[in-house]
Chain A
Amino acid sequence: GENVEQHPSTLSVQEGDSAVIKCTYSDSASNYFPWYKQELGKGPQLIIDIRSNVGEKKDQRIAVTLNKTAKHFSLHITETQPEDSAVYFCAARSYNNNDMRFGAGTRLTVKP
């Protein structure tokens, strides 16, 4: 089955700096890679996703890159703000599989 690894487990940056979170996956059939943001006391919320037919996707300050050959994908947050502080999860899912596997999460702290 799919195995998703996520690094780092904690990340602290200064406001205005960039943050990068990296994930690797094992199942070459995986073709959907969402990123979720979980704030304290809330459920995970999708912030951006990418499908395997695309190498990069951007939405304002957030971007995701995918390297299918190396089986890794990354989340990039530019111009970080204190409200970006949360736990971020990557996930991977195969087109023919209902089972989505999550990474272990990255706790991002943005210091004002």
Chain B
Amino acid sequence: DTAVSQTPKYLVTQMGNDKSIKCEQNLGHDTMYWYKQDSKKFLKIMFSYNNKELIINETVPNRFSPKSPDKAHLNLHINSLELGDSAVYFCASSLGRSGSYEQYFGPGTRLTVT
């Protein structure tokens, strides 16, 4: 059984479009995250939600809007896509928001903006 799943795995779209990436975890975790991994493999946190409440919002353009309909789901919507948005986006979850909880990562969504 997949612990953290993301859809789609690949997403190719044109500049200016709006797209969404979905994430679901079946671990019963309270906290979920979105990370961006650039072409140099650098992993940077974008957002974190705890029990559907936003707790981390890094310096991310407001074209990116996370939505958590329930604590098992954290979706990422991106408006007006730009070339620089091309990256691999990882969803993750942890049992709680405390710093010592392990984070479990999804398989990633490779977004290519042309």
Contacts and interface: CB of A to CB of B under 8 A. Distances in A.
A51 B103 contact: no
A100 B103 contact: yes
A43 B108 contact: yes
Nearest to A1: B58
Interface in A65-105: 87, 89, 93-102, 104-105
Interface stretch (B37-45, B65-73, B78-86): B37-45
Interface residues of A, number: 29
Contacts, number: 64
Given A32-B99, A51-B100, A104 B55 contact: no
Interface of B: 4, 31, 40-45, 48, 50, 55-56, 90, 92, 97-100, 102-108
A95 B103 contact: no
Contacts of B56: 98-99
A61 interface: no
Nearest to A97: B99
Contact of B102 (A46, A87, A97, A99): A46
A95 B99 contact: yes
Given A51-B100, A98-B50, A43 B106 contact: yes
A45 B42 contact: no
A95 B100 contact: yes
Contacts of B4: 43
A34 B31 CA distance: 17
B43 A89 contact: yes
Given A98-B31, A100-B45, 8 more contacts: A31-B99, A42-B108, A43-B4, A44-B43, A97-B99, A99-B56, A100-B99, A105-B41
Nearest to B97: A98
Contacts of B42: 102, 104-105
- B41, B97, B104 — most chain A CB neighbours (10 Å): B41
A76 to B, nearest CB: 20
7 contacts: A43-B106, A43-B107, A44-B43, A44-B90, A98-B56, A99-B56, A105-B42
